[in-house]
Amino acid sequence: MKKNTKISPVFPIIFLLVFSLFGCKTKSEKVKHSAVKNPIKPNVLFILVDDLGYADLSVMGSKYYETPNIDKIAKSGSVFTNGYAACTVCSPSRASLLTGQSPARHGITQFEGRNLSGQAWKTKKRYTKLLPPEFNEHLDPNTLTLAEAFKEEGYATFFAGKWHLGSKEQKSLPTDHGFDVNIGGFQSGSPSGGYFSPYKNPNLPNLPEEKGQNLSMKLAKETSNFITKNKDKHFLAYLSFYAVHGPIQTTKEKWAKYRNKAEKMGIHENGFEMERVLPARKYQDNPVYAGLIEQVDDAVGSVLKTLKDLGLDKNTIIVFTSDNGGVTSGDNFSTNQLSLRGGKGYQWEGGIRIPYFIDVPWIKQNGGNINVPVSGTDLFPTLLDLSGLSLKPENHKDGVSLKPLLEGEKIDERPLYWHYPHYGNQGGEPSSIIRKGKWKLIYYWEDLHSELYNLETDLKETNNVAENNPKIANQMKTQLLTWLKSMGTHYATEDPLWDKEARQKWLENQKTKRLPSLEKERKEMLSPDWQPNKDWWGSEVETK
């Protein structure tokens, strides 16, 4: 066994708001459970969609995106309306899903790839007040992963898709961390070569007959092949889509479908507004992004069909989630989270609250909502518990089993924590967060001020009530800083040569230059005669 090391809504969004206000509850709704017997060593299908936002599914309130297959998982299982990613960006969250540890503990506090710390950060020319700290650049080989825990129990383990937790040279690929098979996982965080075959991926072969096939369906088919080959064994299949990460692409057919839908819904004259740092998308009206989401849904549907055709749907646990919020700012400025402020990279709810579904066939909740705040770190112990395997609290130190909640019982109330001492490409600021009951406190490292929000009455996080509730704010700040100290984590440091005027000019350019450019791109994409770059239309006929 490996040891740890430590470093120094099934309803429309308006209805979801009512339910999510009760995040301080410690009990799920009472539901009727089926009498299906818990199978010995059930199978596990873990579906992870990259950058998928809380409101990016029709089951979570979107009127624009269409996701009937993913919706089935939510309606069949349980929706955690206060489900959170462990970080606002991908690599830290992905490490937390696999280890059950927070980024502050495992040390991967920023996404992998070309990130700089200290004085080297200044070559990015963001002119920020703080210099980001160093961070671990790949999974620690001595940290037990979810895959290794299941492999120890005789499970066949499989990984397909985005890895972004190390490279071959670092000896940190999926096969170095407990997965028997790796299809498409390497150090890249985006789909090299785009979303259509031929792919530029060293671990994803290009077959002549698959030319033009979309990447999401390719990964789904590989997952189905693995399931079919191991139908008589116990398996853990980890399907980690590259979608819906940028650069976003879809087929001409799906773009036209959603362009026409946007027109019928009414295209707004202006589609962006300034957030604190970058412009942010105001509406869900991006037809390329919508098509990309539907491609993921088609792919999920094909894997669900495989389970059903093989008679495995009754003894397979399905987890469906995302690694961070949807991209409202930065990257492709793709979406909007409706009731939530911000998106990927941001410290507000839009950056960390995500779709979080668990479907356990023998615990049928028939679409039940669970409003207790939970984290991606909880999935490791939850899957062990649901599979009848021994928990490993010395490993998944920051997660707890959610099995009691799924069964309609309680878990102890606890605070949730986040630590992101970096500047995000999407506008996020170096900050740490604590969520406790209805209260959420954000502590900013640039000037050490706090924002306090009552999520029961202000889910959009527009009213900072720290000054009106000094006792609560101070208590939560003290608890947060005490926790961070216990993690031995790293912090950003002030740049003694900070050029404040250069920073202000950079910020002004986002408003005067970048925002108008985004408005122009949006209008072009929504025009009937729009044509994308010649290097990515994909197949004219989508391969199913």
Q: What is the CATH number of the domain that holds 97?
A: 3.40.720.10
Q: Is residue 399 part of a domain?
A: yes
Give the whole-number percent of the chain exceeding pLDDT 70.
91
- Residue 233 inside a domain? The answer is yes
**Helix pair angle (287-309, 215-229), 10° resolution:** 10
Determine the average pLDDT of the residues in 190-199.
92
Condensed to tens digits (0 to 9), the pLDDT of residues 465-489 reads 999 999 999 999 999 999 999 999 9
Q: Is the pLDDT of residue 31 over 70?
A: no
Residue 470 lies in a domain: no
Residue 28 scores a pLDDT above 50: no
Claim: this prediction has a pTM higher than 0.85: yes
244 upstream amide cis, omega within 30 of 0: yes
Residue 169 has pLDDT above 60, yes or no: yes
Query: Which range has the worst mean pLDDT, 102-116, 281-295, 391-405?
Result: 102-116
User: How high does pLDDT run on average in the chain?
Assistant: 92
Predicted confidence (pLDDT) at residue 533 exceeds the cutoff of 80: no
Q: Is residue 542 part of a domain?
A: no
- Per the CB < 8 A criterion, the answer to whether 423 and 124 are in contact is no
pLDDT digits (tens, 9 = 90+) for 76-133: 999 999 999 999 999 999 999 999 999 999 999 999 887 789 999 999 999 999 999 9
pLDDT for res 21: 39
In a domain, 253, yes or no: yes
**Domain assignment of residue 197, given as a range:** 46-406+501-525
Residue 379 lies in a domain: yes
At 116 the pLDDT is 85
Task: Please state the φ and ψ torsions of residue 327, each to the nearest 5 degrees.
Answer: -85, 95
Least confident range from 203-217, 228-242, 264-278, 388-402: namely 203-217
The answer as to whether 486 is a domain residue is no
Give the Cα separation of 110 and 134 in Å (integer).
9
Query: By percentage, how much of the chain surpasses pLDDT 90?
Result: 86
- pLDDT score of 38: 73
- For residue 211, what pLDDT is reported? 86
**Average pLDDT score over residue span 259-286:** 98
- 448-452: list long-range contacts, CB under 8 Å, 24+ apart: 450/477, 452/476
Give CA–CA dist 393/399, Å, rounded.
8
Residue 137 lies in a domain: yes
Place 366 in a pLDDT band, splitting at 50, 70 and 90: low
The pLDDT-based confidence of 210 (bands split at 50, 70, 90) is confident
Give per-residue burial for 76-97: e unless 16+ CB within 10 Å, then b. bbbbbbbbbbbbbbbbbbbbbb
C-beta of residue 373 within 8 angstroms of C-beta of residue 21: no
35: pLDDT strictly greater than 50: no
Look at the chain and report how many structural domains it folds into: 1
With contact defined as beta carbons under 8 Å apart, do 194 and 534 qualify? no
Average pLDDT rounded to a whole number, residues 315-324: 98
Convert the pLDDT of each residue in 427-452 to its tens digit: 999 999 999 999 999 999 999 999 99
State yes or no: pLDDT of 5 exceeds 50: no
Q: Identity (one letter) of the amino acid at 157?
A: T
Q: How many Cβ atoms from other residues are within 10 Å of residue 99's Cβ? A: 29
